[in-house]
Amino acid sequence: MTETILVLNGPNLNLLGSREPDIYGSDTLDDIAARLTERGKELGFVIDLRQSNHEGHLVDWLHESQDRGVKAILLNAGALTHTSVALYDAIKAIDVPVIEVHLSNPLAREDFRHASFVGRAACGTISGFGALSYMLALEAAASL
């Protein structure tokens, strides 16, 4: 049976490729998904990539991951990273390792982006490498 790595994306990440490409790059979420899927196959994993602009969907998917036997979760919560105690609690409530992912480096941006509820609960954070951040997080997840 092939293990699954769940890749969750939060608000506004559906606009990748057109939203502030000077910050987030020109890759779309579909571009990132294709590369993750290809590398996931090479590593022996199925990639299940999802995106929602709604916090509750992300919480539900985190909860479901444990029952599904997901190996690890890559989570780019977008702006919810800095505001969501609900995501923090959901990550703490499950035994599945969560790796926080960001395209940009939040610490090099506005002050309000320096605090991360997700990062406080995650097993690690990879940020600042554009779309490569997802690939680096996948490699980390595979090694867990």
Instruction: Please name each of the domains of the chain with its CATH number.
Output: 3-143 (3.40.50.9100)
* CB burial string 74-100: b at 16+ within 10 A, e below: bbbbbebbbebeebbebbeebebbbbb
Where do we find the tokens 């780019």? 76
Residue pLDDT tens, the chain, 144 long: 689 999 999 999 999 888 777 777 789 999 999 999 999 999 999 999 999 999 999 999 999 999 999 999 999 999 999 989 999 999 999 999 999 999 987 766 768 667 899 999 999 999 999 999 999 999 999 999
**% helix, strand, coil for the chain, step of 5:** 50, 20, 30
CB 142 within 8 A of CB 111: no
Catalytic residue among 57, 63, 102, 134, which?
Answer: 102
> What pLDDT shows up at residue 18?
82
> What pLDDT shows up at residue 42?
97
> What pLDDT shows up at residue 108?
64
Residue among 79, 138, 87 nearest 113 (CA) = 79
> What pLDDT shows up at residue 9?
98
Helix (H, G, I), strand (E, B) or coil at 52: coil
> What pLDDT shows up at residue 1?
62
Residue 62 burial (10 A CB sphere; 0-12, 13-18, 19+): buried
**Global pTM?**
0.93
> What pLDDT shows up at residue 107?
67
Q: Is 134 a catalytic residue?
A: no
Q: Is 57 a catalytic residue?
A: no
> What pLDDT shows up at residue 103?
92
> What pLDDT shows up at residue 23?
73
- Provide the greatest CA pair distance for the chain: 44
> What pLDDT shows up at residue 2?
83
According to DSSP, residue 15 is labeled: G
Residue among 34, 40, 102 nearest 72 (CA) = 40
Helix (H, G, I), strand (E, B) or coil at 5: strand
Order the strands of the 72-76 sheet from edge to edge.
Answer: 45-51, 3-9, 72-76, 98-102, 124-127
